[in-house]
Amino acid sequence: MTDTAPQPRREGHPLAGQKMSGARMIMQLLADEGVEAIFGYSGGAILPTYDAVFLYNEEQSRVGGRQIPLIVPANEQGAAFMAAGFARATGRVGVCLVTSGPGATNTVTPVRDSMADSVPIVVICGQVARASIGTDAFQEAPVTAIMGSVAKHVFLVTEPQRLEATMRTAFELARTGRPGPVVIDVPKDVQNWEGIFQGGGTLPIPGYRRRMRELAEHVLDEREAARFFEMLGESRRPLIYAGGGVVHGGAATQLTEFAATFDIPVVTTLMGIGAIDTTHRLSMRMLGMHGTAFANYAVDDCDFLITVGARFDDRVAGVPAKFARGAERIAQLDIDRAEINKVKRVQWSHVGVLPEALHTLTAYGRRSGFRQDLGQWHQALAELKRRHAMGYDRESPLIQPYYVIEEINKLTRGEAIISTGVGQHQMWTAQYCDFRRPRLWLTSGSMGTMGFGLPAAIGAQLAHPGTLVVDIDGDSSIRMNLGELETVTTYDLPIKIVVLNNFGDGMVKQWQKLFFKGRLSASDRSLHKKDFIKAAQADGFPYAVRLDRKEDVPRVVAEFLGSPGPAFLEVMIDPDAGVYPMVGPGQTYEEMITGDFIASRTKVDIKPPGPSEMF
């Protein structure tokens, strides 16, 4: 909230000057923002707005206008993850509409997930009437207190006259700068209030808008560019380390152009997958805890690390002091000043809009005639790729998850939208699938939220109805939001869901085997009675098949992906299959565990993480 008045309205809106309810204003503003779908679950405190959605779509149907579909999930967590899936797949703001109390609190996890991964969503919550706030009224929750610590911003609308300006400002905050989730808490009596629709205007947030102007105006000058190329010219082994900021900032084209112009190889974070085509000659794929061995060794060997939209997080730089140990210099480009020198000291940095910054560097290098022979570096990287290639037991009689994903990849050819839950299946997909462009890879990164994959796929499919969308999930992860199977068939979405079933929490079991002497405490599901095929059939999936024979993998995967409507495939995989490489928390790339089928540079003694290390 703000204590100052909204900015005056702009002229020109066809409905300016009309009297309407707060709920009707909310709906009109969603239409004005170009919202293509609303994901939500109704309830008492949000009923006026749900009625406004109904009436708006009824009116649009009557006049032949654009209706905004309302997608109803199994629960509110699913709704907010659908909104996030829509946002991740498009770069546009996803919208979630829920009731007060448990409706709002069920969205806390997706809101935090979106904040951690810089995803723009707007969550509109109903709230009890203003007079009842603080009385422990029925279905009341302190949304501003709860959400304030996990969202980019939270609004509680206590003055109805500011509702319109608040809505516009929420969308502005969600999509600008470093994107993120914004929550609007709207009391029921504010929704029922009637007032004059202004047709324009936003809240005055001068500090934020000043920072946005400064970002837009902070362009690389000749001196900064010259210093960058001086460092690049002194380098013999440069490497680009690209993160999710490249995808969120719409800078993938400029990154690829920069890398190709100066022949610099690229590694990406989990969230940066798609920032460069994974089949591109300069792509060294993913680095980090479960990155490829050759990518991690490349980071160790580089002498100049160019960091773009990445933040040296603990999954990548477990020991910051020893990360990129051979790098004599590090450069960092980011939109968020707080990320510069936060974890790793850098010798050159630029805070600003990434597409413009990368374009400026490319143009300067071309204009100055910059040339560099990196032949020996590329030969060394090619040898790393050959010697430390990904591998697994191809002779095993059991179905290996890597094999299944390779078969999916052969058919999707890097063009499908692929979402995942969290766990081993997530890492296998990141390692073995190709992504030809950004926003095809949807996963929960920083929060690592199980149950993300299915609802995110629903949001993505609604955003791109003509695109193949595949949710590669795990048996434990999909359980978290299994109710959304019904949402898939209710809206007849042709999503392909594959569950790699290893009877439990695979990643937890892997850690327990490595570090807890094989004690599978609360992670084994082999005695559980869940029949996923019957569950899918009960929810109306026309294709629901269990795959348990290795020789059937190519045929069944092709049949599954080629089926015309919603499809569900359960694959009974080797329960002991692990994710390799693996860098334990608090350990360096030198200590990377590569397993039995990926070559390691050195013999590694497996040691448990320290008592304070994270999962």
Distance set, CA 539 to CA 483, 490, 564 (Å): 9, 9, 17
**More confident: 11 or 50:** 50
Rounded Cα distance between 558 and 541, Å, is: 17
Q: How many CB atoms lie within 10 A of CB 569?
A: 28
At 187 the three-state DSSP class reads: strand
User: What would the mean pLDDT of 396-418 be, rounded to a whole number?
Assistant: 98
Q: How many CB atoms lie within 10 A of CB 307?
A: 25
Helix (H) or strand (E) holding 431: helix 424-432
pLDDT higher than threshold 50 for residue 3: no
Q: What are the helix (H) ranges across 480-546?
A: 485-490, 506-515, 532-538
DSSP letter, residue 265:
-
Rounded Cα distance between 132 and 129, Å, is: 5
Count the alpha carbons within 13 Å of 512 in the hemisphere toward its beta carbon. Answer: 14
Q: Which residues contact 271 (CB under 8 A, 6 or more apart)?
A: 117, 243, 244, 247, 443, 445, 446
DSSP letter, residue 414:
T
Helices H, strands E: what count in the chain? 23, 20
Q: Homologous superfamily of 218-387 in CATH? A: TPP-binding domain (3.40.50.1220)
Sequence ranges of the chain with CATH classification 3.40.50.970: 19-207, 401-572
Judge whether 445 and 84 are in contact, CB under 8 Å. no
What is the band of 8 on the pLDDT scale with cuts at 50, 70, 90? very low
Distance set, CA 116 to CA 181, 268, 586 (Å): 10, 17, 21
Tally of residues, the chain: 615
Rounded Cα distance between 426 and 288, Å, is: 14
Q: Which residues contact 362 (CB under 8 A, 6 or more apart)?
A: 254, 257, 258, 261, 262
Token pair recorded at residue 180:
């993120």
What is the band of 605 on the pLDDT scale with cuts at 50, 70, 90? confident
At 58 the three-state DSSP class reads: helix
Token pair recorded at residue 499:
């569950």
Judge whether 243 and 266 are in contact, CB under 8 Å. no
Rounded Cα distance between 252 and 285, Å, is: 14
Among 18, 54, 58, 138, the active-site one is 138
Report which of 486, 415, 600 is spatially closest to residue 72, judged by C-alpha positions: 486
CATH of 19-207, one of 3.40.50.970, 3.40.710.10, 3.40.1080.10, 3.40.109.10: 3.40.50.970
Among 7, 60, 67, 139, the active-site one is 139
pLDDT higher than threshold 70 for residue 1: no
Rounded Cα distance between 439 and 420, Å, is: 13
DSSP letter, residue 311:
-
pLDDT at 7: 47
What is the band of 607 on the pLDDT scale with cuts at 50, 70, 90? confident
User: Is 138 among the residues known to form the active site?
Assistant: yes
Sequence ranges of the chain with CATH classification 3.40.50.1220: 218-387
User: Is 507 among the residues known to form the active site?
Assistant: yes
For 329-387, write each residue's pLDDT tens digit: 999 999 999 999 999 999 999 999 999 999 999 999 999 999 999 999 999 999 999 99
Place of tokens 């559980």: 528
Q: How many CB atoms lie within 10 A of CB 58?
A: 10
For 75-102, write each residue's pLDDT tens digit: 999 999 999 999 999 999 999 999 999 9
| Percent of the chain scoring above 70 in pLDDT | 97
Among 507, 560, 568, 591, the active-site one is 507
Place of tokens 């030198």: 590
Q: Which residue(s) pair with 20 in the sheet?
A: 195
Token pair recorded at residue 429:
């997909």
Q: What are the helix (H) ranges across 282-413?
A: 293-301, 354-367, 375-387, 401-412
Report which of 419, 437, 444 is spatially closest to residue 429, judged by C-alpha positions: 419
| Percent of the chain scoring above 90 in pLDDT | 93
Judge whether 348 and 328 are in contact, CB under 8 Å. no
Helix (H) or strand (E) holding 112: helix 108-116
Rounded Cα distance between 405 and 554, Å, is: 11
| Burial class of 102 by CB neighbour count within 10 A (0 to 12, 13 to 18, 19+) | middle
Judge whether 20 and 28 are in contact, CB under 8 Å. yes
The alpha carbon of residue 234 and the mean position of all alpha carbons in its chain are separated, in whole angstroms, by 36
Mean pLDDT, the chain, whole residue set: 96
Report which of 227, 225, 233, 258 is spatially closest to residue 347, judged by C-alpha positions: 227
Among 188, 385, 496, 509, the active-site one is 188
Peptide bond into 581 cis (omega under 30): yes
Helix (H) or strand (E) holding 350: strand 348-351
Q: Which residue(s) pair with 308 in the sheet?
A: 242, 333
**More confident: 585 or 11:** 585
Among 76, 172, 339, 570, the active-site one is 76
User: Is 76 among the residues known to form the active site?
Assistant: yes
pLDDT higher than threshold 50 for residue 5: no
How far apart, in Å, do the first and last CA atoms of the chain sit?
Answer: 37
Q: Homologous superfamily of 401-572 in CATH? A: Thiamin diphosphate (ThDP)-binding fold, Pyr/PP domains (3.40.50.970)
**Choice among 104-113, 453-462, 601-610 with the minimum mean pLDDT:** 601-610
pLDDT higher than threshold 70 for residue 4: no
Rounded to 10 degrees, what is the CA torsion of 340, 344, 346, 351? -10
For 490-539, write each residue's pLDDT tens digit: 999 999 999 999 999 999 999 998 889 899 998 999 889 999 999 999 99
Q: How many CB atoms lie within 10 A of CB 253?
A: 16
| Burial class of 202 by CB neighbour count within 10 A (0 to 12, 13 to 18, 19+) | buried
Judge whether 215 and 351 are in contact, CB under 8 Å. yes
Helix (H) or strand (E) holding 173: helix 163-175
pLDDT higher than threshold 60 for residue 2: no
